Amino acid sequence: MKLEKIKVACPQCGHVQLEPRDGYSTVCKKCQKHFRLGEVLHPQTGHTEKHHDTQQVTCFQCDTLLEVALGAESTMCKRCSAHIDLRNYDINQAVSKNFRTYGSFVVGEKGYVFNTEAEVGDAVIRGKFIGKLHAHRTLTLYAPQEFKGTFKAGMLIVPAGSKLHWTKPLEVQSVEIAGELVANVHIPGTVFLRSTGHLFGDVEAANLIMEPGAVLVGNAKIGTATSPAESKPATPDSPEVAPANPLELKLDAGAPAPRKKPARAGKRL
């Protein structure tokens, strides 16, 4: 009794050959690749691919925009082949080295990072930091025990209960203040004052959002895009930074001051 044979095509090279209908697997006579007959005769339909959450990062070397999985610890630039660290760092001891990662960089209350240049995704500083810090996304300063050096960030966050007195120009795109900030804020983005926030200094930004209860003491120019490098340091002794009335809000839209009309001389009798 002859076995009934059917024509099947190799999934690798497409070669058509006769195989038993009840067969389980075979080998292609052309490319010698092994394949299962059931997968060729009855291909699965409706197969759904797994989609993983991704994030976008920029190569430190060539600024190429890359899309990587959220759980990845590192990746390689598809353009310049540079290695990119994606790990998170939690510092709770004394450390003196450079950091370069798109993950988070947290300095705890017992942490002490010194003589460093750190380029990170998000930064949270509670302890001591001495060096240069660049946070591509957010920088949160929880009233650090000591912060010396320079920083720049996408967004500066001053949490409730924290106080920051910064005399240097703020190199950030936007700020969110729930605590107290003494500084002149000249930035291209948005100044967001929470209900518990206090800002002592002049403001020049594209947008200003103030929740009920927030306090701003200083002059404000809203609707302008200012480069962070043009920001001038604020001093607590300046009358524009700390006037007598802490609830006073001076808005300077750049309009010229009104001219006083000269007094008319009286008619001589």
Where in the chain are the domains?
5-41, 52-86, 89-251
**Which of 26-30, 35-39, 187-191, 240-244 is the least confident region?**
240-244
What's residue 228's pLDDT? 59
Which residue in the block uniquely carries the two structure tokens 């450390």?
Answer: 95
Quickly tell me which residue has 């930035």 as its tokens.
Answer: 187
Q: Which of 67-76, 155-164, 198-207, 232-241 shows the lowest mean pLDDT across its residues?
A: 232-241
Distances (CA, A) of 113 to 120, 141, 204: 14, 14, 32
> How big is the CA angle at 174 (ends 134 and 203), to the nearest 5 degrees?
120
pLDDT at site 48: 44
Rounded to 5 degrees, φ, ψ at 41 are -75, -30
Instruction: Write down the residue that tokens 């190799």 correspond to.
Output: 10
Q: Residue 101's closest CA among 91, 114, 112, 92?
A: 91
- Contact assessment for residue 166 and residue 149, using Cβ atoms and an 8 Å cutoff: no
Averaged pLDDT score across all residues of the chain: 80
Of the ranges 20-34, 147-161, 196-210, which one carries the lowest mean pLDDT score? 20-34
What average pLDDT does this structure show over 196-204? 96
| Beta carbons within 10 angstroms of residue 29's beta carbon | 11
Taking the C-alpha atoms of residue 251 and residue 241, their distance in angstroms, rounded to an integer, is: 13
Bridge partners of 84, per DSSP, are: 75
Higher-pLDDT residue of 232, 177 = 177
- Give the pLDDT mean for 218-241: 61
Sorted by sequence, the CB contacts under 8 Å of residue 44 that are 6+ apart come out as: none
